[in-house]
Structure 1
Amino acid sequence: MNKKKKTLIFTVIIAVITIMAVYRNYFSEEKYSIDESTQIIEETQETDKVSDINEVVVYISGAVKNPGVLTMTSEDRLADAIEMVGGTVDGADMNAVNLAEKLADGKHYIIPKIGENVAPSGNNQVSASNSKGSDGKININTATAEELDKLPGVGESTAQKIISYREESGGFKSVEELKNVNGIGDKKFEDMKDSVTI
């Protein structure tokens, strides 16, 4: 083999090696580019998903161990909120509430005891519309402080005591139980008994 042929073969080998190196580098960069693009898309989707989750503040009361206001997320369920307040007390009527319901901001969830009817079925939200019975009486288990304040002999302080008592005891079982509230004696009870219901 003469020198000319050796040089030609050597040149071809170098060219082939160079082409292979270029192609290998090209496909590696392309793969990296695809992987990077996929990662960016996945991160964007995760960010969009997170942005759909909002902070909500809810009030859990009734037949639970530690009634109170909670800060949760819009993805949390009523069961999660009940767990956060320590669970339910004996006698809680879990069939009266929807544990799978997603939490809504500003909502008041009352967990009733068996036999209690503290809110319209499937609603669980206390509002002015359900605090008055069909006879116009104020429901002491669902009324707001403002509504209780309108009762004869009840001021802002007593209204708050009524709410505190019903939260601690899991709701009133009878109208007469109002007399257990600090500040409501026989005279005050007589004045308001015809204006309230449970």
Structure 2
Amino acid sequence: MNIYESIYCVQMNDYYEMKHLIQYYRPMVTEIWADIFARKTSTILCEKEEFYRHADLLLYHCIFEFRLDRVMTFSSFYRRCLKNKAYDILRDCMRKQYQTSISLDQKIREDVSSYYGDIKLKDELEVHDIVMDQLMWEYTKNKILNVFGEEYVHVIDLRMEGYTLKYIANELDLTCSKVDFMFKKVKKWITTIDS
């Protein structure tokens, strides 16, 4: 089966091809469901049929989000997106099941536990996670800028968008080895940030 031909057909509103793509990826979807929801726990937090519905909807979105100018294949792209979705579902189920309190930095929690102890996570507070992730990334990016310079920030930005080191090297007019060195340098530095 030529999946790229099927993807093109779906993009051209031939939705009959969706059925073929769903069947083609069903073994991979089942494998991810089993790894995340069945093998590692005695309580299944997301039933297989429910996960299939999430996976099918995600497949449709991935078809329109996938960019051919990346070296990653569509199957790799879909697998990565599906795993992220599975972990999101798992986290959401665990929040609902255990009503976890908002997790704060240890020092802050000790200082202000009386203020935050009664706050429970709800679906509406998922926006909080997104905002906090974005703020944390902006903070980290500013530190990279201050420590290494703007070129390093460009390398990290492009890498996080899924571009290969070769593409980044061509884009920034650098050698592949230089980009690899820059990326590894920042990656090593990030493990020691604020420690």
Q: What is the TM-score normalised by the length of structure 1?
A: 0.26
Bigger share in helix: 2
Bigger share in strand: 1
Q: What is the TM-score normalised by the length of structure 2?
A: 0.27
